[in-house]
Amino acid sequence: MEAIYSVVEETISVLRSITIMDVIDIILLSLIIFEGWKLVRETKANQLLKAVVTLLVVYIISGLIGLKAIEFLLKSVFSIGILALIILFQPEIRRALEKVGRTGLKKLGLVQIGSEPDSMNARWETAIDAICDSCDELSATTTGALIVIERQIRLGEHIDNGTRLDALPSKELFGNIFYPKTPLHDGAAILRDGIIIAAACFLPAPQKEELINKKLGSRHRAAIGMSENSDAIVIVVSEETGTISIAENGELTRGYTRDSLRKYLRSKLIAEKPAYAEKERKRFVRGKKQ
């Protein structure tokens, strides 16, 4: 009984010592942990994070039951753990910082960012129609295509390695760009603000190429790599099967039609409802799996 009373008294003492700043500190830390978990839970880093947590649990247990060798080994590993985690989670950390940079002030309400002007929405309406019509036609003729839609993160370094166009998108122009054996077909077309700003652009390789399905070709791999390194939406048309795919946030979803592609792009680029767009993407993926 004395032990129970002692625990109760210590608990009450701790609770009495908590201040408002302590509560705020705990809430902020919880939010940071929650946002960090949301960032990695649907990525390959999820498995790596589970392994780190498992090692941490083993380290604690080994200390409690007296497994000196294992405790010493894990202690040595964790002594350089922060640097190792920064290296291992570099893509996720970079993506998180980029996300904070482009949405942090808006979400905090520190700055007022209005919606896109009507002219920009009209421009994207035209671009989306051209993209969907082109992808539908290219899919029917099994002509390979790679279209990158730039969003908040600028893709200047990738635009510079291609051929500058600054042209209004159309089904005919996309057809000429991706027609086999033409000078511009080998590479990606990049759109900025509803304009085809460049073509024949080379994209970065995926962070972990060895984990990608071996059946996917170079276009799909480049699309995944681009989506890992930016917030761009990357559309791929397979030259083998004609399948239309979208790469975003390092994930590839396949089997889009002209209508489902239009619906997805409109929700991302015009309606500006990312939660709705993500819901549509997940519903579409579930439907393909059934």
Model confidence pTM above 0.85: no
Residue type, 32: I
Read off the pLDDT band of 47 (50, 70, 90).
Answer: low
Average pLDDT, the chain: 79
Sequence length of the chain is 290
pLDDT digits (tens, 9 = 90+) for 66-84: 888 887 787 777 777 667 6
Residue 272 has pLDDT above 80, yes or no: no
More confident residue, 277 or 234: 234
Please state the domain extents for the chain. 2-108, 118-289
Read off the pLDDT band of 110 (50, 70, 90).
Answer: very low
pLDDT digits (tens, 9 = 90+) for 22-45: 888 888 888 877 776 666 554 555
Other C-beta atoms lying within 10 Å of the C-beta of residue 59: 18
Read off the pLDDT band of 61 (50, 70, 90).
Answer: confident
Does domain 118-289 sit in CATH 3.40.1700.10? yes
